[in-house]
Structure 1
């Protein structure tokens, strides 16, 4: 999906079902602790402890429509940030960026 080129990766999404199916009890406990810590620190910084988001899988047929809506509302655009990977697609294949270590 060429509409995704250059977008800043701002969120990490974990499907609840995947966490339930693929994490053991220790992993689930660690994930819960990390999420609680983030929630508490957001609260201490005066931010809402929990936000609610809409998530759109990029392989959905309507994903390009969502991109156009976001563009029309100035919530989309290329961002240059050395700490973020740029999503690149070749057809329907995600191309991972090269890293300095991978080049060595």
Structure 2
């Protein structure tokens, strides 16, 4: 989808159903501790502990409409963070960015 060019990979989204299905109890506990730590450190930084987000799958027919709305509200743009990857597509295929490790 050409509308996704320039999209920042800014969030990590895990489906609760996948967590319950694919993680064992130790992994669920580890994830819970990580999420708790992020929440506590956000509080120390003066940020709200939890944000609520709307999630749109890029394969939905209305995803392009959402991109246009985000662009109109200046919530879309080039990647400025070197720790973030830009989404790249070849037809319907997502092209993952090369890492230094993969280049060696």
In the alignment, is residue 61 of structure 1 matched against residue 61 of structure 2?
yes
Q: Equivalent residue for 2:87?
A: 87
**Which deviates more from structure 2 when the two are superposed, residues 19-28 or residues 91-100?**
91-100
By how many angstroms is 1:83 displaced?
1.4
Match of 2:94, SS?
strand
- Can you give the 5+ residue segments of structure 1 that lack an aligned partner in the other structure? none
Name structure 2 gaps, 5 residues minimum: none
- Structure 1 window deviating more from structure 2 (90-99 vs 57-66): it is 90-99
How far does residue 78 in structure 1 lie from its aligned partner after superposition?
Answer: 1.2
Distance of 2:100 and 2:46 partners within structure 1 = 38
* Number of residue pairs the alignment of both structures matches: 104
- RMSD of the TM alignment (CA)? 1.0
How far 1:5 sits from its partner (Å)? 1.3
**Residues 10-53 of structure 1: CA distance to partner in whole angstroms, max 9, x if unpaired?**
10000000000000000000000000010111111111001100
Once the two structures are TM-superposed, the CA of residue 80 in structure 1 deviates from its matched residue by 3.2
Aligned match of 1:35:
35
Q: TM-score, normalised by structure 2?
A: 0.94
Q: Return the TM-score normalized by structure 1.
A: 0.94
Q: 1:15 maps to which residue?
A: 15
The one-character-per-residue Cα deviations of 1:51-71 (angstroms, maximum 9, x if unpaired) are: 100000000000000000000
